[in-house]
Structure 1
Amino acid sequence: MTASSVPGVRLRRVTVNGVGLNVATAGQGPAVLLLHGFPHTWRLWSEVIGPLARRHRVIAPDLRGFGASDRPADGYDAGTLATDAEALLDALDAGPAAVVGIDLGTPPAFLLAMRRPGRVRRLVLMESLLGDLPGADAFLAGGPPWWFGFHAEPGLAETVLAGHEEAYIGWFLDRGTLGRGVRPDVRAELVRAYTGGEALRAAFGPYRALPVTARQIRAAVAGARLTVPALTIGAHPVGGALESQLRPYADRLTGRVIPDCGHIIPLDRPDALLDLLDPFLAADD
C-alpha cells in the first residue's frame, strides 16, 4: 500500500475476477464505494474523499480498463463491472456498503443494488441514464450525445485521437464544469490516464458494451424492484431524467438536481454534493 497525492488517501492493488484494480482508500467506519465514469479515474473524487473519510471508510477504485487498473480485452458491460465491485467489497471485507456511481459508474452501481441488495445499504446515482428505460425522452429529444456513437465504433476513436488526448479530455473536463475547469494537478493526471491507444481502447469499452448493459438493466427491472434507499442527483445536462427513469421501479427514492452545476459534479460543485451525500449516507449509521 502506498500514499497518494491526496492527503489521507492510500493506494493499493486488489485483484478481482482476474483483473488487477488500482484502489484508493481512506478513513474508517461504514463503507462507501465510489464508482467513476468517463473521462475519470478515482481522482474524480479528490475533493470529497477527505470529508467523507471523517465518518466513512471510502473505497474508490479505478474501474477495469481505467487509470492504473488492468486493461483486459472484455468485461466492460455493467453487469461485469457490478461483479467487480461486489468482489472488491468482498476482498476488502467491507460489509454492506453505500454505493455511489456517476456517469458510466451508475449502471454497475444500480445492477449491484438490484442483484445483491444485502450488500448495498444505500445507493446514490448521478448524471447518467439507465439503459433505454422510459423516462428520458426529453433529454434524448435530440438524440444521444454525439460521443456515444464515436466511442462505440471499434477501433475508430482511439485511432483518431492518438496524439490529441489532452485536447479531447480537456474538452470534457471544461464542458463538465460549465467552463470552470478542474485543478491543474487533477487535469494532468486524468489526461495522463487516457493517453495512448491502449488506454483509450479500454476507456471506450463501456460504450461498446452499451447494448449488453441495456439488456441487463431491462432484465433487472423486469424481475425485481429496487428496495435499497436510493438518491438520484442530477446537474447539467442530465437533470431529472435519471430520477424519471428510476421512479417506477424504486421503493424508496429521493431525487435532487444541483443548480449551476456541470456533469462532473464531484469536481465542479463538491460542497453542494456533500450537502446531499452527508445526511443521506448517515441516515442509518
Structure 2
Amino acid sequence: MPGTAPSRPSAPEISLNRVPVNGIEVNVATAGDGPAVLLLHGFPHTWRLWTEVIAGLSGRYRVIAPDLRGFGATTRAPDGYDAGTLATDAERLLDALGEPTAAVVGIDAGTPPAFLFAMRRPGRVRRLVLMESLLGRLPGAEDFLAGGPPWWFGFHSVPGLAETVLTGHEAEYIDWFLTTGTRGRGVPRPIRDAFVGAYTGTDALRCAFSYYRALPAGARQIQDAVESHRLTVPTMAIGAHPVGNALERQLRPVSDDLTAHVIDDCGHIIPLDRPDALLPLLTSFLAADLHV
C-alpha cells in the first residue's frame, strides 16, 4: 500500500546443538547457508554476543557461533584454555560440521585462537577478522600497556582467588564489564541476562578465569608461531575503545595482507555496541567469498 513502511527482514532461524569436539561438547548456534563464517566470542560473553552479526550475515553465509570451551552451555573442562587448544577446538568444530574452510572472526579471548588457527592451518581459514585484543607479547602494544595491563588481568590470574571473591556477586561484576564495554550504553536486557546466567556459579567463574591463567602459555604459542611462519591469510584488524590500533601494530610486521579500522565512539564489545558500524566492515571484507 502507498505510504506503508518497508518491513524489516525477519530474524534468522538459529539452530542450537551440542557437538562433540576435541574431548568436550560444544554448544553451537548456526544459521543460514553459504560459505562458513566462524565467530569466536570473548569474556564475559557467549555466542549471543553475535546476535546482530548473525542477523546481518546469515542471508549469505552459514554462520557458526559456538560457546567457547568452558563458557555458556559448552563443557566446563578442567583444562585446555590456552590459545593453541582453543584453536584446535575451532578446527575440530569445523570438521564436525562438515566445513573444510571458514572465514574466522575473533574478539577479545577469541582473538588469539583465531590467529593461531590461521597461522597453523592457513588452507582452512579463508579470511580472518581480529578485534579488540592483544596477541601475547608481540611488539606494537607498548603504548597501550604503558600503564600496565588492565587491572582485572592480575585479579583473574591468581588461581582460586577471583571465583572465591565473586561467587554470589556475579551479576554486579558482569554488569560492570557490559557497561564499561559499551561506554555506558549497556546491552539488551535479554542478552545481559543470558551472560549473567552463563557466568553464575563458582565453576563457571573458574572456567572464565582459566583463560587469563593460560595467557602465558598462549603468549609462548603465538611467539613460536610468528618465529616460524608469516600470517598469509587476508586479515582485517578492528579496534575500538580501549585497544584502538594496538592490535594492528602487532599484526603489521607479521602479516602479508592486512586491513585495519578503528571504530569511533565504540566500546570494547563492538558487536553489541556498534553493530551498525561493524556489519558494513564485515560484509565488505567477506564479500570475496561470494565470488569464488
Same topology, TM > 0.5: yes
Q: What is the aligned-residue identity percentage?
A: 74
Match of 1:186 among 187, 191, 201: 191
Match of 1:70 in 2: 75
Distance 2:175 2:289 in 1: 39
Measured at CA, do residues 29 and 7 of structure 1 come closer, stay the same or move farther in structure 2, by a change above 3 Å? closer
Contact 1:8 1:50 survives alignment (8 Å): no
Match of 2:54 among 49, 52, 66: 49
Corresponding position: 1:275 with 2:283 = no
Q: Which amino acid aligns with 1:180?
A: R
Q: How does 1:1-285 map to 2 (within 5 A)?
A: 7-285=12-290
Deviations 1:104-132 (A, max 9, x none): 00000000000000000000000000000
Q: Which amino acid aligns with 1:164?
A: H
CA shift, 1:94, in A, is 1.3
CA shift, 1:52, in A, is 0.6
Contact 1:162 1:196 survives alignment (8 Å): yes
Contact 1:176 1:263 survives alignment (8 Å): yes
Q: Give the TM-score taking structure 2 as reference length.
A: 0.95
- Structure 1 gap segments, 5+ residues each: 1-5
Match of 2:4 in 1: none
CA shift, 1:284, in A, is 3.5
SS at match of 1:204: helix
Q: Which amino acid aligns with 1:274?
A: L
Considering only CA atoms, is the larger Rg found in Structure 1 or Structure 2? 2
SS at match of 2:123: helix
Distance 2:223 2:142 in 1: 17
Q: Which amino acid aligns with 2:87?
A: A
CA RMSD of aligned residues (A): 0.7
Deviations 1:118-147 (A, max 9, x none): 000000000000000000011001100000
CA shift, 1:50, in A, is 1.1
Contact 1:96 1:121 survives alignment (8 Å): yes
Deviations 1:22-49 (A, max 9, x none): 0000000000000000000000001110
CA shift, 1:54, in A, is 0.6
Q: Give the TM-score taking structure 1 as reference length.
A: 0.97
